[in-house]
């Protein structure tokens, strides 16, 4: 990570940025969620990988809620875009340097569990790395072999469950399996993957591995935007994914606002 990347944030606040949110495809958090916001284009951070996929802008928004800063990453890069695993998680190195302790990683995903439907939220309780590598390869951290007993923090999951229940919003819990992409999985691949996971996507796992390796607690939240190949009757297309996600943005914003209020009141 380039230490110069810290300067734009330090020019705005000297308070450690303890919470960050990575937004998945089509998801958004309106500036009105915060008392004040400051935007930073990825262009300000020389060498930071740039998203190339529709639905992923290239902006950090630093929002202040009750005078406490929250960093929102609008747009992520993926392994399938041709970046190395190390490049994919350079944002996590930035978060760690800024003092982030809690990271909410969100994504749009495909549902494999027959009890799921497009529009369902899934609180992630585990993951399976089905990508050909991970971000710690060749970049060993301390500890070299981070524990993954609970990659998604149990306390954060309990808080998120309470938020869903308090707002009477239905949700499921499940395991996320990462698929390299950039194509939608075949029917045979989904039959295999669905035997041990509930949802499938092309992100989240590299960031979670890196975050846990540097001691950042992670909450994983998926939005099912389509059912996986062989389950849904329509062909896949990214525009449909973005459309389903956009319909759930108001609910997602309410959930994130309530979650931030909850963890900041502790």
| Active-site option among 2, 80, 133, 238 | 80
> Among the options 113, 178, 203, 217, which is catalytic?
203
- Interatomic CA distance for residues 213 and 211, integer angstroms: 5
- Does residue 56 carry a catalytic annotation? yes
Q: Tell me the pairing of strands 59-65 and 68-74.
A: antiparallel
Given 58, 222, 226, 245, which residue is catalytic? 226
Q: Is 25 a catalytic residue?
A: yes
Is 81 annotated as catalytic? yes
Distance in angstroms (rounded) separating the CA atoms of residues 55 and 76 = 10
Q: Has 80 been annotated as catalytic? A: yes
Q: Which member of 81, 93, 185, 207 is catalytic? A: 81
Q: Is there a catalytic annotation at residue 171? A: no
Asked if 78 is an active-site residue, the reply is: yes
d(CA 120, CA 77): 24
226 is catalytic: yes
Catalytic-labelled residue, pool 58, 85, 108, 228: 108
Task: Give me the residues paired with residue 226 across strands.
Answer: 110
Beta-strand pair 36-41/172-178: unpaired
Let me know: does 51 contact 58? Beta carbons within 8 Å.
yes
DSSP symbol at 32: G
Contacts of 265 by beta carbon, 8 Å cutoff, 6+ apart: none
Active-site residue identified among 58, 202, 211, 227: 202
Is there a contact between 261 and 143 (Cβ–Cβ < 8 Å)?
Answer: no
**Is 108 a catalytic site residue?**
yes
Give just the sign of the alpha carbon dihedral 149, 155, 161, 164: negative
| Residue tagged active-site, from 56, 134, 228, 245 | 56
Active site residues: 25, 56, 78, 80-81, 108, 202-203, 226, 236
């Amino acid at each position: 990570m380039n230490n110069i990347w810290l300067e734009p944030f330090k020019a705005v606040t000297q308070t450690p940025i303890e919470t960050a949110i990575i937004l998945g495809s089509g998801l958004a958090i309106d500036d009105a969620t915060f008392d004040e916001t400051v935007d930073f284009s990825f262009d300000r951070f020389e060498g930071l990988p740039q998203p190339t996929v529709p639905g992923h802008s290239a902006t950090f928004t630093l929002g202040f809620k009750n005078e406490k800063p929250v960093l929102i990453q609008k747009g992520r890069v993926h392994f399938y875009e041709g970046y190395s695993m190390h490049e994919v998680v350079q944002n996590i190195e930035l978060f760690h340097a800024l003092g982030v302790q809690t990271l909410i990683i969100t994504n749009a995903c495909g549902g494999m569990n027959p009890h799921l439907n497009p529009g369902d939220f899934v609180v992630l309780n585990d993951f399976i790395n089905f990508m050909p590598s991970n971000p710690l390869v060749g970049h060993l951290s301390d500890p070299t072999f981070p524990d993954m007993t609970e990659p998604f923090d149990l306390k954060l999951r309990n808080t998120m469950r309470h938020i869903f229940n308090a707002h009477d919003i239905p949700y499921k819990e499940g395991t996320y399996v990462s698929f390299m992409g950039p194509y939608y999985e075949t029917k045979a691949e989904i039959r295999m993957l669905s035997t041990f996971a509930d949802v499938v996507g092309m992100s989240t796992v590299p960031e979670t591995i890196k975050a846990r390796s540097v001691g950042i607690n992670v909450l994983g939240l998926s939005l099912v935007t389509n059912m996986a190949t062989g389950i849904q009757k329509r062909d896949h297309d990214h525009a449909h994914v973005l459309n389903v996600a956009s319909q759930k943005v108001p609910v997602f914003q309410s959930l994130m606002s309530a979650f931030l209020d909850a963890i900041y009141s502790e």
